[in-house]
């Protein structure tokens, strides 16, 4: 069972919108964290294959912006009460990689060695989904999305039951994800519940920003901050005062 600590961030968001059901599961834009430190709202899991630290850094494209940077293998999940019971959710964030490497995410994390893994692969074309179980990676799905280094992309994962859908688009593309086809999709229920997570891989350097995890598209309508026009904290101020 994953240990957890409640975060003031999520409690404040839930209270402001009166969302007693907690449908906004997690939000983080890293702006309140200190440069060079680990992200304060995330827990570092002990991963056998490596334990590199994810740190808060300046955005290479905008030094006024803070983000989370991976450099080597490191696995982090949100510090949120009840995260081990997350099952069906939508996960939006902004993502950039600076070299041709295996960079990825994890979701439905039961523990450090039991989770799904969504990965951008070397060669700048393939996106894959794996299971990690008992120290073994097993590919369960693949798709294609031509991409380049040092460009911000927007990412969406929709996890519902045993169905996985991963979407990607250029962050400057205003097309709603709802109007796009998944880059990779599959059906697999090896893992039933658990939070999402950031993960660095081997020599890969990547950047994460503007994390939002919700239970439905309706919840996202209140959190339309995952774009290049503004940070979450700024947009949240407008939303909660409507």
At residue 49, the pLDDT reads 67
In order of their start, the domains of the chain are 8-240 (2.60.120.560)
At residue 233, the pLDDT reads 47
* Tens-binned pLDDT, residue by residue, of the chain (242 aa): 444 333 334 433 443 333 334 489 999 999 999 999 999 999 999 887 677 899 999 999 999 999 999 988 889 999 999 999 999 999 999 999 999 989 999 999 999 999 999 999 999 999 999 999 998 999 999 999 999 999 999 999 999 999 999 999 999 999 999 999 999 999 999 999 999 999 988 788 999 999 999 999 888 877 664 444 455 544 443 333 33
β-pairing, 136-144 vs 153-160, is: unpaired
At residue 173, the pLDDT reads 95
- Residue 156 Cα to chain centre, angstroms: 8
Helices (H), the chain: 8-17, 217-220, 232-240
Coil vs helix vs strand at 178: helix
Q: In what order do the strands lie in the sheet with 136-144?
A: 42-45, 74-78, 197-200, 103-111, 114-120, 126-133, 136-144
At residue 8, the pLDDT reads 34
For 165, the token pair is: 């859908």
- Residue 186 Cα to chain centre, angstroms: 19
Cα(2)–Cα(57) distance, integer angstroms: 27
Cα(58)–Cα(66) distance, integer angstroms: 5
Hunting for tokens 């490596």 — which residue is that?
A: 50
Identify whether the C-beta of residue 122 lies closer than 8 Å to the C-beta of residue 101.
yes
State the pTM of this model. Answer: 0.85
Coil vs helix vs strand at 87: coil
At residue 224, the pLDDT reads 62
């Amino acid at each position: 069972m994953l240990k957890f600590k409640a975060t003031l961030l999520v409690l404040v968001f839930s209270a402001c919108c009166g969302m007693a059901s907690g449908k906004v599961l997690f939000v983080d834009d890293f702006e309140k964290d200190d440069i060079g430190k680990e992200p304060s709202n995330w827990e570092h899991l002990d991963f056998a294959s490596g334990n590199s630290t994810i740190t808060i850094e300046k955005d290479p494209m905008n030094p006024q912006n803070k983000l989370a940077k991976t450099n080597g293998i490191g696995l982090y999940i949100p510090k949120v009460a009840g995260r081990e019971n997350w099952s069906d959710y939508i996960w939006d964030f902004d993502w950039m990689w600076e070299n041709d490497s295996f960079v990825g995410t994890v979701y439905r994390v039961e523990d450090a060695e039991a989770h799904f893994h969504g990965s951008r692969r070397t060669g700048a074309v393939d996106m894959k989904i794996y299971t990690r179980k008992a120290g073994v990676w097993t590919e369960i799905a693949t798709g294609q999305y031509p991409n380049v280094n040092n460009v911000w992309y927007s990412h969406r994962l929709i996890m519902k039951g045993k169905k996985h859908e991963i979407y990607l688009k250029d962050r400057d593309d205003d097309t709603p994800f709802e109007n796009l086809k998944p880059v990779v999709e599959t059906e697999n229920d090896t893992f039933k519940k658990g939070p999402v997570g950031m993960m660095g891989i081997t020599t890969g350097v990547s950047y994460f920003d503007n994390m939002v995890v919700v239970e439905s598209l309706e919840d996202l309508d209140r959190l339309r901050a995952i774009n290049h026009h503004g940070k979450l904290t700024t947009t949240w101020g407008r939303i909660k005062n409507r």
